[in-house]
């Protein structure tokens, strides 16, 4: 694991961050003293990655955005 700010390898675990969607490991850089959570492709998203992925696949498969929205609302409770 590398620090996302200074790119140092001097990183230690520093608790967990609980979010609506998931709980993530928090890290502390001993070099720059900044705390961070390991980034992923679904940062700042309100819904679970599985739901986002399903919506994107449906849209790529040809469903309109309104049909994707209706489908998720009926079957996913969103």
Which of 31, 52, 27, 29 minimizes the C-alpha distance to 42?
52
22-77 pLDDT, tens digit each: 788 999 999 999 999 987 766 777 778 888 889 999 999 999 999 999 988 888 77
Q: Report, in angstroms and rounded to the nearest whole number, the Rg of the chain calculated over CA atoms.
A: 18
Q: Where are the domains of the chain?
A: 1-39, 40-78
Tell whether the model's pLDDT for residue 78 goes beyond 80: no
Structure tokens at 18: 């609980």
């Amino acid at each position: 694991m590398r620090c996302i700010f200074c790119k140092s390898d001097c990183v230690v675990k520093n608790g967990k961050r609980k979010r609506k969607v998931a709980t993530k490991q928090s890290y502390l850089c001993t070099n720059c003293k900044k705390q961070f959570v390991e980034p992923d492709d679904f940062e700042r998203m309100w819904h679970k990655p599985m739901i986002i992925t399903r919506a994107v696949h449906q849209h790529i498969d040809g469903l309109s955005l309104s049909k994707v929205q209706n489908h998720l609302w009926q079957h996913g409770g969103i």
